[in-house]
């Protein structure tokens, strides 16, 4: 029986986005405040996912061995380091979140049966890497607050209440929505980025957060005049709003996840997720070891 196990690790390190072949103005245009000397730091959180068969002891791998491998190959070398100089790979390609994830994969792959490296630069920015050469995924998390009412105009209040329950009450109700937007693309061999991060965050703010925040969705967003603003429909509309702006920054919109409350969330894909990854996460039991 196949099973995926995940091991968590962490390290603190600093980095700077700066290309010596570019002028100061060019670096500022590309990287903004991340160009400031002598760099800035993060508390990185790393998840290493591995796939294998259960052995006679009920384990895929001995987690103590996994822990020591990650420490030896990764965290002992990166913790309290200046990433630009820590490894040779980061002198060729900047240590962005997505590129760090890629290089960690390369360094662990000879030792562990990897299926994913997930690296959090901070809770609102993380990268996923699956071993696909230079392809990676980058996720930005943000939030907005809005009210809505779930009711179809062609149905009576009683009929809407039968379908939507309390959510059909005439004056609506509100949520603090959490939004995760994931893009995919090829890591640039020099900048280490799959897209302009400033442009990525700006697209989300411009097309979603600013127009949606502190609104009554049914009345303030034209799209929802004729579409019930369920979490599913909101996520689909956000996907449609972001497709073109994300393409303009050179990446592909991959997934939109909307968390309406701690109990309710939905996600929509902008391209079909690879079947192997979908089946991996939907059919294989997972063990998280902290």
34 is catalytic: no
- From 3, 22, 167, 266, active-site residue: 167
pLDDT tens per residue across span 136-191: 999 999 999 999 999 999 999 999 999 999 999 999 999 999 999 999 999 999 99
Query: Considering Cα of 184, then 185, then 187, then 193, what sign does the dihedral take?
Result: negative
Residue boundaries of the structural domains of the chain: 1-131, 133-271
68 is catalytic: no
Q: What is the pLDDT of residue 272?
A: 58
Q: Distance between the two ends of the chain, CA-based, in angstroms?
A: 23
Structure tokens at 231: 């979490």
How far is Cα 287 from Cα 54, in angstroms, rounded to an integer? 12
Q: Which among 245, 256, 172 is positioned nearest to 215, based on CA atoms?
A: 172
- From 26, 214, 225, 281, active-site residue: 214
Q: State in words which class domain 133-271 has.
A: alpha beta
Q: Which residues of the chain have pLDDT under 50?
A: 274-290
How far is Cα 102 from Cα 98, in angstroms, rounded to an integer? 6
| Number of neighbouring beta carbons within 10 Å of residue 242 | 21
- From 98, 121, 180, 260, active-site residue: 260
260 is catalytic: yes
Q: What is the pLDDT of residue 142?
A: 98
Q: Which phi and psi (to 5°) does residue 58 adopt?
A: 80, 25
Q: Which residues contact 50 (CB under 8 A, 6 or more apart)?
A: 4, 5, 6, 7, 60, 61, 66, 112, 113, 114, 115
Answer whether 1-131 and 133-271 agree in fold.
Answer: yes
Q: State in words which class domain 1-131 has.
A: alpha beta
Structure tokens at 137: 């995924």
């Amino acid at each position: 029986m196949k099973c995926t196990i995940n091991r968590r690790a962490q390290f603190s390190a600093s980095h700077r986005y700066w290309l010596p072949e570019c002028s100061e103005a060019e670096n500022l245009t590309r990287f903004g405040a991340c160009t400031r000397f002598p760099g800035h730091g993060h508390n990185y959180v790393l998840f290493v996912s591995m796939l294998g068969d259960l052995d006679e002891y009920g384990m895929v791998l001995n987690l103590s061995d996994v822990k020591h491998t990650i420490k030896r190959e990764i965290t002992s070398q990166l913790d309290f380091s200046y990433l630009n100089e820590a490894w040779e790979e980061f002198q060729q390609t900047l240590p962005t979140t997505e590129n760090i994830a890629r290089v960690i994969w390369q360094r662990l792959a000879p030792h562990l049966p990897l299926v994913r490296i997930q690296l959090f630069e901070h809770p609102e920015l993380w990268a996923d890497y699956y071993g696909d050469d230079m392809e990676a995924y980058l996720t930005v998390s943000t939030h907005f607050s809005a009210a809505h009412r779930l009711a179809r105009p062609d149905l009576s209040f009683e009929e809407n209440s039968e379908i939507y329950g309390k959510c059909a009450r005439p004056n609506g109700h509100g949520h603090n929505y959490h939004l995760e937007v994931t893009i995919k693309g090829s890591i640039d061999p020099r900048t280490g980025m799959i897209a302009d991060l400033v442009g990525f965050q700006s697209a989300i703010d411009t097309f979603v957060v600013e127009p949606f925040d502190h609104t009554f969705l049914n009345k303030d967003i034209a799209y929802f005049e004729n579409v019930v603003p369920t979490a599913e429909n909101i996520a689909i509309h956000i996907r449609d709003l972001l497709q073109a702006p994300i393409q303009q920054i050179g990446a592909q919109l991959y997934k939109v996840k909307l968390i309406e409350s701690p109990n309710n969330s939905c996600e929509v894909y902008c391209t079909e997720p690879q079947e192997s990854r979908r089946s991996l996460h939907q059919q294989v039991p997972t063990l998280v070891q902290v």
